[in-house]
Amino acid sequence: MKVCEIFTSIQGESSLAGIPMVFVRLTGCNLRCSYCDTKYAYYEGEELSINKVLEKIHSFPFQYVEITGGEPLLQDETYKLINELVKSHNVLIETNGSIPIEKVNPEVKIIMDIKTPGSGMSEKNYIENLRFLKKIDEVKFVLTNRDDYEWAKNFIKNHEIKANEILFSPAYGILNPAELAKWLINDGISVRLNLQIHKYIFGNIRGV
Protein backbone atom coordinates (compact mmCIF):
# COMPACT_ATOMS: atom_id res chain seq x y z
CA MET A 1 0.00 0.00 0.00
CA LYS A 2 1.18 3.53 -0.65
CA VAL A 3 1.77 5.40 2.61
CA CYS A 4 2.36 9.14 2.79
CA GLU A 5 3.43 9.25 6.44
CA ILE A 6 3.08 7.53 9.81
CA PHE A 7 3.37 9.77 12.86
CA THR A 8 2.11 10.40 16.37
CA SER A 9 0.19 13.46 17.50
CA ILE A 10 -2.72 14.73 19.51
CA GLN A 11 -6.06 13.95 17.91
CA GLY A 12 -7.27 17.37 16.85
CA GLU A 13 -10.84 16.61 15.85
CA SER A 14 -13.93 14.51 16.63
CA SER A 15 -15.22 13.47 20.06
CA LEU A 16 -11.74 12.04 20.75
CA ALA A 17 -9.99 15.41 20.43
CA GLY A 18 -7.05 15.68 22.79
CA ILE A 19 -6.10 11.98 22.85
CA PRO A 20 -2.56 11.08 21.73
CA MET A 21 -2.59 8.48 18.95
CA VAL A 22 -0.86 7.07 15.88
CA PHE A 23 -1.82 8.45 12.47
CA VAL A 24 -1.37 6.53 9.24
CA ARG A 25 -1.80 8.89 6.29
CA LEU A 26 -2.32 7.04 3.02
CA THR A 27 -1.52 8.49 -0.38
CA GLY A 28 -4.14 9.47 -2.96
CA CYS A 29 -7.41 11.34 -3.02
CA ASN A 30 -10.26 11.42 -5.52
CA LEU A 31 -11.46 14.89 -4.42
CA ARG A 32 -9.94 18.35 -4.57
CA CYS A 33 -11.60 20.35 -1.80
CA SER A 34 -11.07 24.10 -1.85
CA TYR A 35 -9.70 24.17 1.71
CA CYS A 36 -7.57 21.00 1.54
CA ASP A 37 -4.66 21.14 4.01
CA THR A 38 -2.97 17.87 2.97
CA LYS A 39 -2.36 18.36 -0.74
CA TYR A 40 1.01 16.67 -0.34
CA ALA A 41 -0.91 13.43 0.25
CA TYR A 42 -2.31 13.49 -3.29
CA TYR A 43 0.89 11.93 -4.60
CA GLU A 44 3.67 11.73 -1.99
CA GLY A 45 4.45 8.43 -0.33
CA GLU A 46 6.18 5.07 -0.53
CA GLU A 47 5.00 1.52 -1.04
CA LEU A 48 5.01 -0.43 2.22
CA SER A 49 3.77 -3.90 3.04
CA ILE A 50 0.97 -4.21 5.57
CA ASN A 51 3.42 -5.96 7.89
CA LYS A 52 5.79 -2.97 7.70
CA VAL A 53 2.96 -0.60 8.53
CA LEU A 54 1.87 -2.75 11.46
CA GLU A 55 5.45 -2.97 12.70
CA LYS A 56 5.73 0.83 12.72
CA ILE A 57 2.38 1.23 14.50
CA HIS A 58 3.33 -1.33 17.15
CA SER A 59 6.54 0.59 17.85
CA PHE A 60 4.45 3.34 19.46
CA PRO A 61 2.79 3.03 22.90
CA PHE A 62 -0.65 4.35 21.92
CA GLN A 63 -3.89 2.38 21.88
CA TYR A 64 -5.63 4.54 19.28
CA VAL A 65 -4.80 4.50 15.58
CA GLU A 66 -6.37 6.71 12.93
CA ILE A 67 -6.22 5.83 9.25
CA THR A 68 -6.52 8.97 7.15
CA GLY A 69 -5.46 10.49 3.85
CA GLY A 70 -5.93 11.63 1.24
CA GLU A 71 -8.77 9.17 0.96
CA PRO A 72 -7.81 5.87 2.61
CA LEU A 73 -10.65 3.81 1.12
CA LEU A 74 -9.21 4.21 -2.37
CA GLN A 75 -6.69 1.49 -1.53
CA ASP A 76 -7.98 -2.09 -1.23
CA GLU A 77 -5.22 -2.91 1.24
CA THR A 78 -6.78 -0.50 3.74
CA TYR A 79 -9.43 -3.07 4.62
CA LYS A 80 -6.78 -5.70 5.34
CA LEU A 81 -4.81 -3.24 7.46
CA ILE A 82 -7.75 -2.26 9.65
CA ASN A 83 -8.87 -5.88 10.02
CA GLU A 84 -5.46 -6.60 11.53
CA LEU A 85 -5.37 -3.44 13.63
CA VAL A 86 -8.71 -4.02 15.38
CA LYS A 87 -7.17 -7.10 17.00
CA SER A 88 -4.91 -4.90 19.11
CA HIS A 89 -5.98 -1.25 18.80
CA ASN A 90 -8.91 1.12 18.84
CA VAL A 91 -9.17 2.15 15.20
CA LEU A 92 -10.63 5.23 13.53
CA ILE A 93 -10.83 5.95 9.83
CA GLU A 94 -11.38 9.38 8.27
CA THR A 95 -13.12 9.24 4.91
CA ASN A 96 -14.35 11.97 2.58
CA GLY A 97 -17.79 10.42 2.12
CA SER A 98 -17.52 9.78 -1.61
CA ILE A 99 -16.50 6.10 -1.33
CA PRO A 100 -18.85 3.33 -0.08
CA ILE A 101 -18.17 2.47 3.57
CA GLU A 102 -20.16 -0.76 3.94
CA LYS A 103 -17.04 -2.97 3.78
CA VAL A 104 -15.33 -1.20 6.69
CA ASN A 105 -14.91 -3.46 9.72
CA PRO A 106 -17.80 -2.73 12.12
CA GLU A 107 -15.37 -2.39 15.05
CA VAL A 108 -13.87 0.70 13.43
CA LYS A 109 -15.13 4.21 14.24
CA ILE A 110 -15.82 5.95 10.93
CA ILE A 111 -15.48 9.73 10.79
CA MET A 112 -17.16 10.63 7.54
CA ASP A 113 -17.26 14.00 5.80
CA ILE A 114 -20.35 15.32 4.12
CA LYS A 115 -19.02 17.87 1.67
CA THR A 116 -20.67 21.28 1.67
CA PRO A 117 -20.93 23.55 -1.39
CA GLY A 118 -17.99 25.64 -0.19
CA SER A 119 -15.72 22.63 -0.62
CA GLY A 120 -16.51 22.55 -4.33
CA MET A 121 -17.14 18.81 -3.97
CA SER A 122 -20.69 18.52 -2.60
CA GLU A 123 -21.89 16.73 -5.74
CA LYS A 124 -19.48 13.88 -4.85
CA ASN A 125 -21.28 12.93 -1.62
CA TYR A 126 -22.28 9.26 -1.70
CA ILE A 127 -25.58 9.62 0.14
CA GLU A 128 -26.09 5.84 0.35
CA ASN A 129 -23.35 5.82 2.99
CA LEU A 130 -25.85 7.19 5.51
CA ARG A 131 -27.46 3.73 5.55
CA PHE A 132 -24.24 2.12 6.76
CA LEU A 133 -23.31 4.50 9.58
CA LYS A 134 -23.28 3.07 13.12
CA LYS A 135 -24.03 4.77 16.44
CA ILE A 136 -20.32 4.94 17.24
CA ASP A 137 -19.54 6.76 13.98
CA GLU A 138 -19.29 10.51 13.44
CA VAL A 139 -20.31 12.77 10.59
CA LYS A 140 -18.40 15.97 9.87
CA PHE A 141 -19.40 19.08 7.93
CA VAL A 142 -16.51 21.45 7.15
CA LEU A 143 -18.00 24.92 6.76
CA THR A 144 -16.52 27.87 4.90
CA ASN A 145 -19.30 30.44 5.36
CA ARG A 146 -22.91 31.04 6.44
CA ASP A 147 -24.27 29.44 3.27
CA ASP A 148 -22.44 26.21 4.11
CA TYR A 149 -23.87 26.38 7.63
CA GLU A 150 -27.44 26.75 6.37
CA TRP A 151 -26.84 23.96 3.84
CA ALA A 152 -25.59 21.64 6.60
CA LYS A 153 -28.55 22.51 8.83
CA ASN A 154 -30.95 21.59 6.04
CA PHE A 155 -29.04 18.39 5.32
CA ILE A 156 -29.36 17.06 8.88
CA LYS A 157 -33.02 18.12 8.93
CA ASN A 158 -33.80 16.21 5.72
CA HIS A 159 -31.69 13.07 6.25
CA GLU A 160 -31.58 10.43 8.94
CA ILE A 161 -28.09 10.33 10.45
CA LYS A 162 -27.64 7.36 12.77
CA ALA A 163 -24.23 8.44 14.06
CA ASN A 164 -24.29 9.78 17.61
CA GLU A 165 -21.94 12.66 16.82
CA ILE A 166 -22.51 15.35 14.19
CA LEU A 167 -19.56 17.71 13.88
CA PHE A 168 -19.66 21.25 12.50
CA SER A 169 -16.10 22.30 11.75
CA PRO A 170 -15.05 25.81 10.67
CA ALA A 171 -12.56 25.59 7.80
CA TYR A 172 -9.25 26.62 9.40
CA GLY A 173 -8.28 30.17 8.51
CA ILE A 174 -11.47 30.70 6.48
CA LEU A 175 -14.44 30.73 8.88
CA ASN A 176 -14.05 32.36 12.30
CA PRO A 177 -14.90 29.75 14.98
CA ALA A 178 -16.53 32.45 17.12
CA GLU A 179 -19.01 33.18 14.31
CA LEU A 180 -19.92 29.51 13.97
CA ALA A 181 -20.27 29.19 17.75
CA LYS A 182 -22.72 32.12 17.78
CA TRP A 183 -24.80 30.59 14.99
CA LEU A 184 -25.02 27.27 16.83
CA ILE A 185 -25.97 28.91 20.10
CA ASN A 186 -28.57 31.19 18.52
CA ASP A 187 -30.16 28.37 16.52
CA GLY A 188 -30.02 25.76 19.28
CA ILE A 189 -28.47 23.15 16.98
CA SER A 190 -27.56 19.88 18.72
CA VAL A 191 -24.19 19.31 17.06
CA ARG A 192 -20.59 19.48 18.27
CA LEU A 193 -18.41 22.48 17.38
CA ASN A 194 -15.33 20.75 16.00
CA LEU A 195 -12.09 22.76 16.06
CA GLN A 196 -8.85 21.37 14.65
CA ILE A 197 -7.08 21.82 17.97
CA HIS A 198 -3.79 20.34 16.70
CA LYS A 199 -3.47 23.39 14.47
CA TYR A 200 -4.00 25.75 17.39
CA ILE A 201 -1.38 23.80 19.35
CA PHE A 202 1.28 23.18 16.71
CA GLY A 203 0.35 25.45 13.81
CA ASN A 204 -0.49 24.35 10.29
CA ILE A 205 2.48 22.03 9.80
CA ARG A 206 2.59 18.39 8.79
CA GLY A 207 3.53 15.43 10.92
CA VAL A 208 2.07 16.66 14.21
pLDDT level of residue 208 (50, 70, 90 thresholds): low
Q: Regarding predicted confidence, which is higher, 147 or 203?
A: 147
What CATH number does residue 172 fall under? 3.20.20.70
Task: Judge whether 116 lies within some domain.
Answer: yes
Task: Judge whether 176 lies within some domain.
Answer: yes
pLDDT at residue 115 is higher than 80: yes
Rounded average pLDDT over 192-196: 95
Task: Judge whether 41 lies within some domain.
Answer: yes
10 is in an annotated binding site: yes
36 is in an annotated binding site: yes
Among residues 52, 113, 103, 43, the alpha carbon closest in space to that of 73 is found at: 103
The boundaries of the domain holding residue 95 are 2-202
Task: Judge whether 105 lies within some domain.
Answer: yes
| Number of domains forming the structure of the chain | 1
Quote the pLDDT of residue 25.
98
pLDDT at residue 82 is higher than 80: yes
Task: Judge whether 117 lies within some domain.
Answer: yes
70 is in an annotated binding site: yes
The pLDDT tens digits of the residues spanning 119-168 come to 999 999 999 999 999 999 999 999 999 999 999 999 999 999 999 999 99
Neighbours of 104 (CB within 10 A): 25
Compute, in degrees rounded to 10, the torsion defined by CA atoms 142, 25, 87, 137: 10
CB within 8 Å of 83: residues ≥ 6 apart? 105
Quote the pLDDT of residue 114.
98
68 is in an annotated binding site: yes
Is there a contact between 194 and 169 (Cβ–Cβ < 8 Å)?
Answer: yes
Quote the pLDDT of residue 139.
98
Task: Judge whether 65 lies within some domain.
Answer: yes
Task: Judge whether 208 lies within some domain.
Answer: no
- Its pTM stands at 0.95
4 is in an annotated binding site: no
27 is in an annotated binding site: no
35 is in an annotated binding site: yes
Quote the pLDDT of residue 206.
75
Task: Judge whether 207 lies within some domain.
Answer: no
pLDDT at residue 207 is higher than 80: no
75 is in an annotated binding site: no
